Amino acid sequence: MAIGVLEADQVSKVYLSRHDQVNALAPISFRIQPGAFVSFVGASGCGKSTVLSLVAGLISPTAGELRLFGEPIKGPSQRISYMLQQDCLLDWRTVEQNITLGLSFRGSHGSKTAAHARYLLAELGLSHTLHQYPSQLSGGMRQRVALVRTLAVQPELLLLDEPFSALDYQNKLHLEELLVDVLHGRKMTALLVTHDLEEAIALSDTIYVMGGRPGTLRRIIEVPTEIRDASPLAARSMPTFRSLFIELWKEIESP
Protein backbone atom coordinates (compact mmCIF):
# COMPACT_ATOMS: atom_id res chain seq x y z
CA MET A 1 0.00 0.00 0.00
CA ALA A 2 1.26 3.53 -0.84
CA ILE A 3 2.55 5.67 2.04
CA GLY A 4 -0.07 8.17 3.24
CA VAL A 5 0.87 11.77 3.99
CA LEU A 6 -0.07 11.09 7.55
CA GLU A 7 -0.62 7.87 9.43
CA ALA A 8 -1.76 7.55 13.03
CA ASP A 9 -1.32 4.15 14.55
CA GLN A 10 -3.11 3.67 17.89
CA VAL A 11 -2.13 7.18 19.00
CA SER A 12 -3.26 8.28 22.46
CA LYS A 13 -2.50 11.23 24.71
CA VAL A 14 -2.53 11.76 28.46
CA TYR A 15 -1.54 15.25 29.61
CA LEU A 16 0.49 15.05 32.82
CA SER A 17 1.11 17.86 35.21
CA ARG A 18 2.48 17.80 38.74
CA HIS A 19 -0.98 17.55 40.32
CA ASP A 20 -3.18 16.27 37.58
CA GLN A 21 -3.54 14.04 34.58
CA VAL A 22 -5.99 14.44 31.71
CA ASN A 23 -6.81 11.52 29.52
CA ALA A 24 -7.36 13.55 26.34
CA LEU A 25 -7.21 11.02 23.52
CA ALA A 26 -8.01 7.30 23.46
CA PRO A 27 -6.05 5.29 20.88
CA ILE A 28 -6.99 6.44 17.39
CA SER A 29 -5.78 5.30 13.99
CA PHE A 30 -6.19 6.89 10.57
CA ARG A 31 -4.40 7.34 7.27
CA ILE A 32 -4.64 10.49 5.19
CA GLN A 33 -3.89 10.42 1.48
CA PRO A 34 -2.02 13.13 -0.46
CA GLY A 35 -4.15 16.10 -1.48
CA ALA A 36 -7.01 15.27 0.89
CA PHE A 37 -8.83 17.95 2.85
CA VAL A 38 -9.90 16.40 6.17
CA SER A 39 -11.89 18.15 8.89
CA PHE A 40 -12.07 17.13 12.54
CA VAL A 41 -15.36 17.99 14.22
CA GLY A 42 -16.81 17.05 17.61
CA ALA A 43 -17.91 18.39 20.95
CA SER A 44 -15.66 20.69 22.92
CA GLY A 45 -12.86 18.85 24.72
CA CYS A 46 -12.91 15.66 22.64
CA GLY A 47 -9.29 16.09 21.59
CA LYS A 48 -9.44 17.74 18.15
CA SER A 49 -6.71 20.32 18.83
CA THR A 50 -4.67 17.65 20.59
CA VAL A 51 -4.61 15.70 17.32
CA LEU A 52 -3.32 18.76 15.47
CA SER A 53 -0.68 19.51 18.11
CA LEU A 54 0.52 15.90 17.86
CA VAL A 55 0.69 16.11 14.07
CA ALA A 56 2.55 19.44 14.32
CA GLY A 57 5.09 17.74 16.58
CA LEU A 58 4.44 20.23 19.39
CA ILE A 59 3.58 17.42 21.81
CA SER A 60 4.37 13.69 21.83
CA PRO A 61 1.89 10.83 21.95
CA THR A 62 1.65 8.90 25.19
CA ALA A 63 1.39 5.71 23.13
CA GLY A 64 1.23 4.80 19.47
CA GLU A 65 2.98 6.36 16.52
CA LEU A 66 2.33 9.18 14.07
CA ARG A 67 4.14 9.12 10.75
CA LEU A 68 4.55 11.96 8.26
CA PHE A 69 5.40 10.65 4.79
CA GLY A 70 6.33 7.35 6.43
CA GLU A 71 8.72 8.87 9.00
CA PRO A 72 7.85 9.01 12.73
CA ILE A 73 7.00 12.56 13.85
CA LYS A 74 9.60 13.59 16.44
CA GLY A 75 9.11 17.37 16.44
CA PRO A 76 8.04 20.27 14.21
CA SER A 77 8.60 19.65 10.50
CA GLN A 78 9.42 22.07 7.68
CA ARG A 79 6.87 20.21 5.59
CA ILE A 80 4.03 21.42 7.83
CA SER A 81 2.52 24.86 8.28
CA TYR A 82 0.07 25.68 11.08
CA MET A 83 -2.60 28.39 11.19
CA LEU A 84 -4.55 29.27 14.34
CA GLN A 85 -7.61 31.31 15.26
CA GLN A 86 -5.37 34.23 16.35
CA ASP A 87 -3.56 35.76 13.38
CA CYS A 88 -0.33 36.12 15.44
CA LEU A 89 0.83 39.03 13.24
CA LEU A 90 3.55 41.27 14.66
CA ASP A 91 2.08 44.77 14.90
CA TRP A 92 5.43 46.55 14.49
CA ARG A 93 6.12 44.87 11.15
CA THR A 94 4.45 45.60 7.83
CA VAL A 95 2.44 42.95 6.00
CA GLU A 96 5.42 42.24 3.76
CA GLN A 97 7.78 41.97 6.74
CA ASN A 98 5.37 39.64 8.58
CA ILE A 99 5.33 37.33 5.61
CA THR A 100 9.06 37.41 4.92
CA LEU A 101 9.74 36.76 8.61
CA GLY A 102 7.78 33.50 8.34
CA LEU A 103 9.83 32.60 5.29
CA SER A 104 13.18 33.42 6.89
CA PHE A 105 12.31 31.25 9.93
CA ARG A 106 12.16 28.40 7.44
CA GLY A 107 15.43 29.43 5.80
CA SER A 108 13.51 30.37 2.64
CA HIS A 109 15.19 33.43 1.15
CA GLY A 110 15.62 34.78 -2.31
CA SER A 111 13.61 36.44 -5.01
CA LYS A 112 11.68 33.28 -5.95
CA THR A 113 10.07 32.86 -2.53
CA ALA A 114 9.40 36.61 -2.23
CA ALA A 115 7.76 36.57 -5.66
CA HIS A 116 5.63 33.61 -4.63
CA ALA A 117 4.53 35.46 -1.46
CA ARG A 118 3.58 38.50 -3.57
CA TYR A 119 1.67 36.26 -5.96
CA LEU A 120 -0.30 34.82 -3.03
CA LEU A 121 -1.00 38.30 -1.68
CA ALA A 122 -2.41 39.24 -5.07
CA GLU A 123 -4.46 36.03 -5.21
CA LEU A 124 -6.02 36.93 -1.86
CA GLY A 125 -6.62 40.53 -2.92
CA LEU A 126 -4.02 42.01 -0.57
CA SER A 127 -1.39 43.54 -2.88
CA HIS A 128 -2.29 47.05 -1.75
CA THR A 129 -1.55 46.16 1.92
CA LEU A 130 2.11 45.24 1.38
CA HIS A 131 3.48 48.27 3.24
CA GLN A 132 0.67 48.61 5.76
CA TYR A 133 0.82 47.56 9.41
CA PRO A 134 -1.59 44.96 10.85
CA SER A 135 -3.30 47.64 12.97
CA GLN A 136 -4.39 49.33 9.73
CA LEU A 137 -6.22 46.21 8.54
CA SER A 138 -9.68 44.79 9.28
CA GLY A 139 -10.02 41.44 11.08
CA GLY A 140 -10.79 39.66 7.81
CA MET A 141 -7.78 41.21 6.07
CA ARG A 142 -5.48 40.32 8.98
CA GLN A 143 -6.61 36.71 8.77
CA ARG A 144 -6.03 36.73 5.01
CA VAL A 145 -2.47 37.95 5.65
CA ALA A 146 -2.05 35.13 8.18
CA LEU A 147 -3.26 32.70 5.51
CA VAL A 148 -0.70 34.05 3.02
CA ARG A 149 2.05 33.74 5.64
CA THR A 150 0.98 30.13 6.29
CA LEU A 151 0.89 29.23 2.59
CA ALA A 152 3.99 31.18 1.54
CA VAL A 153 6.31 28.53 2.97
CA GLN A 154 4.70 26.09 0.52
CA PRO A 155 3.89 23.41 3.08
CA GLU A 156 2.99 19.91 2.00
CA LEU A 157 0.64 19.60 4.98
CA LEU A 158 -1.48 22.51 6.13
CA LEU A 159 -2.89 22.47 9.67
CA LEU A 160 -5.82 24.81 10.35
CA ASP A 161 -7.13 25.12 13.91
CA GLU A 162 -10.36 27.16 13.87
CA PRO A 163 -8.72 29.63 11.47
CA PHE A 164 -11.86 31.61 10.65
CA SER A 165 -13.87 31.26 13.86
CA ALA A 166 -13.22 34.83 15.06
CA LEU A 167 -14.59 36.28 11.82
CA ASP A 168 -18.13 37.38 10.99
CA TYR A 169 -20.16 35.15 8.67
CA GLN A 170 -19.49 37.18 5.52
CA ASN A 171 -15.73 37.31 6.04
CA LYS A 172 -15.67 33.64 6.96
CA LEU A 173 -17.44 32.66 3.74
CA HIS A 174 -15.15 34.89 1.75
CA LEU A 175 -12.06 33.30 3.27
CA GLU A 176 -13.46 29.81 2.70
CA GLU A 177 -13.90 30.67 -0.99
CA LEU A 178 -10.35 32.05 -1.17
CA LEU A 179 -8.90 29.01 0.56
CA VAL A 180 -10.61 26.63 -1.86
CA ASP A 181 -9.34 28.69 -4.81
CA VAL A 182 -5.80 28.80 -3.46
CA LEU A 183 -5.67 25.08 -2.69
CA HIS A 184 -7.16 24.17 -6.05
CA GLY A 185 -4.41 22.83 -8.27
CA ARG A 186 -1.79 22.86 -5.49
CA LYS A 187 -0.67 19.49 -4.17
CA MET A 188 -1.34 20.29 -0.56
CA THR A 189 -2.98 18.15 2.09
CA ALA A 190 -5.01 20.00 4.73
CA LEU A 191 -6.36 19.17 8.19
CA LEU A 192 -8.96 21.51 9.65
CA VAL A 193 -10.30 21.60 13.21
CA THR A 194 -13.61 23.42 13.38
CA HIS A 195 -16.79 23.74 15.42
CA ASP A 196 -18.56 25.01 12.34
CA LEU A 197 -20.21 22.03 10.68
CA GLU A 198 -21.09 24.06 7.56
CA GLU A 199 -17.44 25.00 7.18
CA ALA A 200 -16.40 21.34 7.56
CA ILE A 201 -18.86 20.19 4.91
CA ALA A 202 -18.09 23.04 2.50
CA LEU A 203 -14.32 22.59 2.59
CA SER A 204 -13.65 18.90 3.16
CA ASP A 205 -13.32 15.71 1.18
CA THR A 206 -13.65 13.73 4.40
CA ILE A 207 -14.98 14.56 7.87
CA TYR A 208 -13.65 12.82 10.97
CA VAL A 209 -16.26 12.95 13.72
CA MET A 210 -14.71 12.75 17.16
CA GLY A 211 -16.44 12.40 20.51
CA GLY A 212 -16.15 11.35 24.12
CA ARG A 213 -13.63 11.97 26.87
CA PRO A 214 -11.05 10.72 26.24
CA GLY A 215 -11.67 11.49 22.59
CA THR A 216 -12.17 8.77 20.02
CA LEU A 217 -12.75 8.75 16.30
CA ARG A 218 -16.45 7.93 16.04
CA ARG A 219 -17.09 8.08 12.33
CA ILE A 220 -15.45 8.91 9.05
CA ILE A 221 -17.81 10.55 6.56
CA GLU A 222 -17.01 11.12 2.89
CA VAL A 223 -18.47 14.36 1.56
CA PRO A 224 -20.50 13.74 -1.64
CA THR A 225 -18.73 14.73 -4.87
CA GLU A 226 -21.39 17.26 -5.88
CA ILE A 227 -20.67 19.26 -2.71
CA ARG A 228 -16.91 18.99 -3.18
CA ASP A 229 -17.20 20.22 -6.74
CA ALA A 230 -19.27 23.26 -5.74
CA SER A 231 -17.99 26.49 -4.23
CA PRO A 232 -18.50 26.82 -0.43
CA LEU A 233 -21.28 29.33 -1.08
CA ALA A 234 -23.09 27.32 -3.77
CA ALA A 235 -22.74 24.09 -1.75
CA ARG A 236 -24.70 25.56 1.13
CA SER A 237 -27.92 25.65 -0.88
CA MET A 238 -27.77 21.97 -1.90
CA PRO A 239 -30.24 19.51 -0.29
CA THR A 240 -27.39 17.01 0.24
CA PHE A 241 -25.50 19.70 2.16
CA ARG A 242 -28.46 20.26 4.47
CA SER A 243 -29.01 16.54 5.07
CA LEU A 244 -25.31 15.98 5.80
CA PHE A 245 -25.42 18.89 8.24
CA ILE A 246 -28.29 17.26 10.14
CA GLU A 247 -26.56 13.86 10.09
CA LEU A 248 -23.38 15.38 11.53
CA TRP A 249 -25.30 17.36 14.12
CA LYS A 250 -27.08 14.23 15.37
CA GLU A 251 -23.82 12.28 15.45
CA ILE A 252 -22.11 14.93 17.56
CA GLU A 253 -25.08 15.37 19.89
CA SER A 254 -25.54 11.64 20.50
CA PRO A 255 -24.14 10.46 23.85
Binding site for ligand ATP (CB under 6 A): 15, 22, 24, 42, 44-50
Between 15 and 169, CB nearer to ligand ATP: 15
Closest contact distance (angstroms) between CB of 59 and ligand ATP is: 7
Please state the closest distance from residue 17 (CB atom) to ligand ATP, in A.
6
Q: Is the Cα dihedral 36, 158, 162, 12 positive or negative? A: positive
Minimum CB distance to ligand ATP smaller for 46 or for 221: 46
Find, among 57, 38, 80, 36, the residue nearest to 191 by Cα. Answer: 38
Q: What is the nearest approach in angstroms of ligand ATP to the Cβ of residue 22?
A: 4
C-beta closer to ligand ATP: residue 98 or 194: 194
Cβ proximity to ligand ATP: between 116 and 218 the closer is: 218
User: Closer CB to ligand ATP, residue 45 or residue 224?
Assistant: 45
Q: What is the signed CA dihedral for 54, 161, 93, 130, rounded to 10 degrees?
A: 130
CB of 71 to ligand ATP, least distance (A): 24
Radius of gyration of the chain (CA): 18
CB 194, min distance to ligand ATP, A: 9
Q: Least separation, in Å, of the C-beta of 212 and ligand ATP?
A: 10
Q: How far is the CB of 254 from ligand ATP (least distance, A)?
A: 16
- In the complex with ligand ATP, which residue's Cβ is closer, 4 or 42? 42
Q: Which is nearer to ligand ATP, 19 or 250 (CB)?
A: 19
